[in-house]
Structure 1
Amino acid sequence: MEIISKLSILIVILFISCHSGRGNVDVQQSADSIAVCHIGAIPSRFTALHKDTLSYEKGEDNVRMVFIRGGKFKMGSTDFVDAQPVHAVEVNSFYMDEHEVTNAQFEAFVKATDYVTVAERPLDPKEFPGVDPAMLVPGSAVFTNPSKVDGMDNFLQWWQYVPGANWRYPEGPNSSIRGKEDHPVTQLAYEDAEAYAKWAGKRLPTEAEWEYAAKAGNHTSETYYWGSEKKENGKWLANIFQGDFPMKNTKEDGFETTSPVKSFPANAYGLYDMEGNVWEWCSDFYRPDYYMQSPKSNPKGPSSSHDPQEPGLVKRVQRGGSFLCNDEYCERYKAGSRGKGEVNSPTNNVGFRCVKDI
């Protein structure tokens, strides 16, 4: 317990946040209302690259990919300051995985390559001067339901650094992916997702490709990618949080954390879980002002990352929201909105899916 407590002090300083909110606010200040959805990294992981990341023989994951015919669409949202201005974008045709990469798929990749994820790698004592090296144990961030909260500003009331948490044990050593082989894999940093995509002969989507595929030809200003209601015939249309966040999830959709892929209806393009379940890494660096100068054709994001709220951290875009999202607190699963994550920040509500060029 002492190790966890002392590491939590470091986490207060070093972990990052995902924000949600509305309103016309100066993007340089990013002063929209804050809702911490997930948190981030320990600095030693910035340099702890896996030596074989770029040298694997290509594998094959055999997941069904959907052909996405290219075209034009309106990208962004008037409800989120960093998703403005809404602007016209054209993307080329591509293939996209019909669902998020699963535990079984990622396990096959690890067995074929002996890949070691960021959350499993040792922490470098040189990055923590004065800290007992015995404290620096591999692990990651896990969401836990607190019995009570004192305000909503301190995200450490519901996020904990758990030694031993990684993709095999998403909630810590007492958890397991056994029996959850068809759930999306989580606890992956950006480079973990990128390594898998390269092994499979694919890549991570740009956020323009991701949003275009999520809208599935629906170019109206719907609240959600599928429409304006969260239920159809009394059934929830996505795996999100119901109840009193963060204390009580009523699980009206049937799930407290991740759900098996394809548990909810596909969109018009045949893609599953484009909202909810787990956040999905995109290849774009995150900048809140990027849409002001984004190219009109096949934008790939800015050349570098900058988040005014945490300018020292490198962030990539994440899309789609997770099982922790809801309209009252973390609403970045809504149509056109953007998430962000520090690149070395695995949590138990972040995963990915892949795309492939024609």
Structure 2
Amino acid sequence: MRWTVRSKLAAGASLVGCLATAAIWQMGWHTPRAQNTERLQCDTALAPAATPHPGMVWVPAGTVAMGDTVYQEEQPIQTSQLKGFWMDRTEVTNAQFAAFVAATGYVTVAERPVDTQAHPGLPPELQQPGAVVFVPPTELRNGGDVRQWWQYRAGANWRHPGGPDTSTAGKDAFPVVAVTIDDAQAYARWKGHALPTEAEWEWAAQGGAPATSGKTDQPAQANTWQGIFPIQNAATDGFVGVAPVACYAPNGYGLFDMIGNVWELTRDRYRPFHDARDNRPPDQEPQGSWTVGRSAQVKGGGRRPEDTEQNAPPSSIPTQELQRQQQPKQHVIKGGSYLCAPNYCMRYRAGARQGQDDDLATSHLGFRTILRDTANVAAHPEKP
């Protein structure tokens, strides 16, 4: 799912690109349970683990095969060597984010005034702070036009994910949503943590199981969409909307909801393919936005770091590259969410990925943090 300032101007708050996932509430912030939920045991009060970092689990070092072959942006598959790290065993919750806001006075991007001078021509309804919210349609009248089920709602933010008439009251154990990359990084810095790289996130999501590619089976232990998106949801997984954290079985590392529930931000900037630069060490700062390159290209119209705009003859600049330069800055999001469905978004896989606009708050996106604590590595010997 993509929502850009340009698309707002061009189509009056239209949505462009591919649907990733989104929060689905019945016209707001509601999460009714399905009738067949006996097998679900939501551990909303996770007991502190006996670790140096409560609420986190150790992810051992290893070699990750990053990527998949289902969608073009997941290719090519790249391998990367990773050191071990600690990771939040759940997505950051409303309660945890509220503690951060109370301690710092932080104001999220969705709560800040809109800079109308930077974005002239915005219609009045888009000049108010807010976020993009999923509103399930009763019928489809215009094929795959995503404006049928997405709305920009003034007053929607992490406290009111479905709009000003909704609230997170009583939902402390739900993942915080309607946050941007700046919001997630601010929280991580406050904790003394960081956001995971795409490779770190994918390695953790695999949970120690062998990597697979080309598999699109819907996971049984994850909050995804069962039925025909966006008009029919059987909710056989127990929820028709976002679920509290830890309602489904953890993976092999003890991490909950790495697949489904809400998408998760990573620290890596997005580009629509993988290449060798994705193998950079996690302690190396991410590269900035791509510049228009000359002739050295990879599949998907990419370029290598040494290619710069001043060295590129005009005839060699790919049209796709010029178009990409006009798009907002994005970061990689991973894991899919409870709106991923076989008929529209098969991104309920560790290797799936998508870009999220840096200044866009949506009701389907959250995050978790990691900690690279070498002082406590000895307590967790690596697997051979």
SS at match of 1:88: strand
**Quick one: which amino acid aligns to residue 191 of structure 1?**
D
SS at match of 2:95: helix
Amino acid at match of 2:210: H
Cα distance, 1:79 vs. partner? Answer: 2.0
Q: Which runs of 5 or more structure 2 residues have no equivalent in the other structure?
A: 1-5, 24-52, 291-319, 374-384
Distance in 2 between residues matched to 1:304 and 1:69, nearest whole Å: 29
Shift of the 220–115 alpha-carbon distance from structure 1 to 2, 3 Å rule, reads closer
Q: Which residue of structure 2 aligns with residue 42 of structure 1?
A: none
Q: Is the 1:279–1:352 contact (alpha carbons within 8 Å) kept by the matching residues of 2?
A: yes
Task: Give the aligned partner of residue 282 of structure 1.
Answer: 266
Shift, 1:323, TM fit: 1.1
Distance (whole Å) between structure 2 residues aligned to residue 284 and residue 15 of structure 1: 26
SS at match of 1:290: coil
325, 350, 353: which one aligns with 1:311:
325
* Residue number among 230, 250, 274 corresponding to 2:219 in the alignment: 230
Residue 293 of structure 1 deviates from its aligned partner by 4.4
Are the structure 2 counterparts of residues 296 and 72 from structure 1 closer, same or farther at C-alpha, using a change threshold of 3 Å? farther
Quick one: distance in 2 between partners of 1:198 and 1:15?
34
1-structure distance, mates of 2:136, 2:368: 27
Q: Is the 8 A contact 1:279 1:318 kept in 2?
A: yes
Query: Taking structure 1 as reference, are residues 209 and 201 closer, same or farther at Cα in structure 2, changes over 3 Å only?
Result: same
Which residue does 2:64 correspond to in 1?
A: 73
Tell me, what secondary structure is at the counterpart of 2:257? Answer: coil
1:100 counterpart residue number = 91
After TM superposition, give the deviation of residue 289 of structure 1 in Å.
3.1
Asked if 1:10 is matched to 2:9, the reply is yes
Residues 165-202 of structure 1, C-alpha deviation per residue, up to 9 Å, x if partnerless? 00001001121111211000000011001000000110
1:241 aligns with one of 206, 213, 225: 225
1:269 is aligned to 253
Q: 1:145 to 1:92 in 2, by over 3 A?
A: same
Q: 1:273 to 1:229 in 2, by over 3 A?
A: same
Structure 1 counterpart of 2:305: none
Residue type of the alignment partner of 1:81: Q
Paired AA for residue 124 in structure 1: D
Cα distance, 1:89–1:9 mapped onto 2, change above 3 Å: closer
Q: Which amino acid aligns with 2:356?
A: G
Q: 2:174 aligns with which of 167, 177, 183?
A: 183
The verdict on how the C-alpha distance between 1:301 and 1:240 changes in structure 2, with shifts beyond 3 A counting, is: farther
Following superposition of structure 1 onto structure 2, how do residues 18-57 of structure 1 map, counting pairs within 5 Å?
19=18, 35=19, 37=21
Q: Gapped runs of 5+ residues in structure 1?
A: 1-6, 20-34, 40-61, 232-236
> Of the candidates 338, 342, 348, which is equivalent to residue 327 of structure 1?
342
Q: CA RMSD in A?
A: 2.8
Paired with 1:355 and 1:305, the residues of 2 have a C-alpha distance of: 24
Q: How much does 1:12 deviate? A: 3.5
| CA 1:132–1:74: 2 relative to 1, 3 Å | closer
Instruction: Go from structure 1 to structure 2 and tell me whether the alpha carbon gap of 1:143 and 1:276 turns closer, same or farther (over 3 Å shift).
Output: same
Structure 2 CA distance, aligned partners of 1:83 and 1:210? 14
TM-score, structure 1 as length reference: 0.78
Q: Is the 8 A contact 2:68 2:213 kept in 1?
A: no
SS for the counterpart of 1:263 is: coil
**Alignment deviations for residues 246-280 of structure 1 (CA, whole Å, 9 cap, x no partner):** 12222222222210100000000000000000000
Q: Cα offset for 1:332?
A: 1.7
> Partner of 2:298 in structure 1?
none
TM-superposed deviation, 1:299: 8.6
Task: Read off the aligned partner of 1:247 and give its amino acid letter.
Answer: I
Please give the per-residue CA displacement for 1:107-165, whole angstroms capped at 9, x wherever unaligned: 11111111110111111232343557686211110000011113443111100011110
What corresponds to 1:213 in structure 2?
204
Query: Paired residue for 1:154, among 145, 154, 158?
Result: 145
Change (3 A) 1:172 1:219: same
Q: Is the 8 A contact 1:36 1:155 kept in 2?
A: no
The residue type equivalent to 1:96 in the other structure is M
- The reply on whether 1:347 has 2:347 as its aligned counterpart is no
Structure 1 residue 84 corresponds to structure 2 residue 75: yes
Verify the 8 A CA contact 1:83 1:337 in the aligned structure 2: yes
With 86-95 and 162-171 compared, the bigger mean Cα shift is at 86-95
Measure, in 1, the Cα distance between the counterparts of 2:80 and 2:369: 21
Letter in 2 for 1:98: R
Q: Is the 8 A contact 1:171 1:348 kept in 2?
A: yes
State the shift of 1:16 in Å: 5.9
Mapped contact 1:222–1:228 kept (Cα < 8 A): no
| Counterpart code for 1:184 | P
Q: 2:103 aligned with 1:112, yes or no? A: yes
| Post-superposition CA distance 1:210-244 (Å, at most 9, x none) | 000111221241667xx95633xxxxx11111122
> SS where residue 99 of structure 2 aligns?
helix
- Asked whether the equivalents of residues 64 and 97 of structure 1 are also in contact (C-alpha less than 8 Å), the reply is yes
Q: Percent identity?
A: 41
Rg larger in structure: 2
